[in-house]
Amino acid sequence: MRREEAISNKMDWVTVLIYMVMVLLGWFNIFAAVYDETANQSIFDLSLNSGRQLMFIAASAIIIVAILIVDMRFYEAAAFLIYGIVVFLLVLVPLIGKEVGGNKAWLGIGSFGVQPSEFAKFATALVVAKIIGTVGFRMDRLRNQVILFGIILVPIALTLLQKDFGTALVFTAFLLVFFREGMSPFLLIIGMAMAVIAILTLIVDNQWYLHGGIVVLALVIVFFGKRTVKRILTIGVGAIIIIGTIESFDYVINNVLPVRHKKRLEALVNPDFDPMGINWNVTQSKIAIGSGGFSGKGFLKGTQTKFDFVPEQSTDFIFCTIGEEHGWLGSLVVVGLFITLLLRIVFLAERQKNRFARVYGYSVASIFFFHFAVNIGMTVGLFPVIGIPLPFFSYGGSALWSFTILLFILLKLDAHRSQMLGRL
């Protein structure tokens, strides 16, 4: 009994409040997305997404209680066990899973289905935190980096097997965590450079122009600097590596990537590309959001979102409903809530006394950030269309539970941070 009292006193109620507001707003918007004024529907109707979402929310409450009751040492101790179970489930999915919306990502028991890939997020976060939190762990050791990359590559590979490109990408958010814990920014910079090269490869049709440009650039650098053998060699090798990268991107884009992803990439760098075909979703999404104006059309008054014009209206494109019905002000509130939550999580992570909890906190922040940035980026046309949900807003049980678990394990650890003092 003593611990329960302690929990309610030590809980970070700011975060809990933000969480509750978000889940509630999400539920209203899911109702708005499917609302049909002629049908006299109720938000509690279980045949509607909103009714089912309410059940998912209720289940989340049970999950939260369970998380808070379990001993806080369990999460660190059982990290590998949880990770192992999730990986096992991920392996099962392609074998016995069922297909929903083109992705085979579901494990079903009767009519009830879950997406193991969603739960892989917190499992991976626990393992990453546990490894980095080990006494004497040093991020600058190559061996440690290899292990960490291996840990995130397993779920990436397995979700790619399910053709769930979006969820696989989410795991790259851990790079941010590694960076926070001491990985050289060099890797992130290389990643950025790769992205720039990739975009150039997409924009420039004939990669020989790119190759030519790089050779000219390399010659110019050689010419205007000290012409030592070592420097020329370094620049030469660098130029060859970049050219090789361009070629391999070109190969991946044309031969490996599914056509729909390739088109989405092309659509992103070229907004005029096929506005009625591959950019259809984004065109419709922007019309919906754009028509919201400053203060929106009002709750349930949206007109764009009623006719199924934006596919995935209540899941991946839920932000359209917010933009249309609540305008720029509503968007400001939602974006503001997310930024507040993210900053609060960073604050919580930083005040942890032990490394495991801190790394875990940053993992939660990074994953939430990735979802937030990619999802809203895609609905407003700043990112390619990659189907990942907006935390707490998008319809779906697995996603809601996954984000709830992520957040409340952190809150549990945070509540007991003083008890961990001795274990620094």
- The site for another protein (CB under 8 A) is made up of 36, 176, 179-182, 275-276, 283-284, 286-294, 303-304, 306-309, 323-324, 327-328, 331-332, 335-336, 338-339, 342-343, 346, 350, 362, 365, 369, 372-373, 376-377, 380-382
Nearest distance from C-beta of residue 102 to another protein, angstroms: 10
Nearest distance from C-beta of residue 331 to another protein, angstroms: 5
Helix axes 79-96, 116-133, angle to 10 degrees: 150
- State CA 257 to chain mean position distance: 20
Strands (DSSP E) contained in 120-184 are none
Q: Which two tokens stand for residue 379?
A: 């609905």
Q: Please, which residue, 231 or 301, has the CB nearer to another protein?
A: 301
Helix axes 259-269, 185-203, angle to 10 degrees: 90
Nearest distance from C-beta of residue 415 to another protein, angstroms: 21
Nearest distance from C-beta of residue 275 to another protein, angstroms: 7
Reduced to 3 states, what is the DSSP secondary structure of residue 200? helix
Reduced to 3 states, what is the DSSP secondary structure of residue 302? coil
Neighbours of 269 (CB within 10 A): 14
Nearest distance from C-beta of residue 302 to another protein, angstroms: 9
Q: Residues 221, 232: contact at Cβ < 8 Å?
A: no
Query: Can you tell me the distance from the alpha carbon of 385 to that of 274, in angstroms, rounded to the nearest whole number?
Result: 14
Nearest distance from C-beta of residue 307 to another protein, angstroms: 5
Nearest distance from C-beta of residue 386 to another protein, angstroms: 16
Q: Which two tokens stand for residue 239?
A: 């130029």
Nearest distance from C-beta of residue 20 to another protein, angstroms: 21
Q: Please, which residue, 184 or 248, has the CB nearer to another protein?
A: 184
Closest CA to 115 of 158, 74, 172, 80: 158
Please name the residues in contact with 331: beta carbons below 8 A apart, sequence gap of 6 or more. Answer: 289, 292, 319, 322, 323
Closest CA to 405 of 122, 154, 142: 122
Nearest distance from C-beta of residue 185 to another protein, angstroms: 9
By CB atoms closer than 10 A (0-12, 13-18, 19+), residue 208 is: exposed
Q: Which two tokens stand for residue 133?
A: 């939190």
Q: Residues 284, 316: contact at Cβ < 8 Å?
A: no
Query: Can you tell me the distance from the alpha carbon of 92 to that of 84, in angstroms, rounded to the nearest whole number?
Result: 12
Q: Please, which residue, 59 or 199, has the CB nearer to another protein?
A: 199
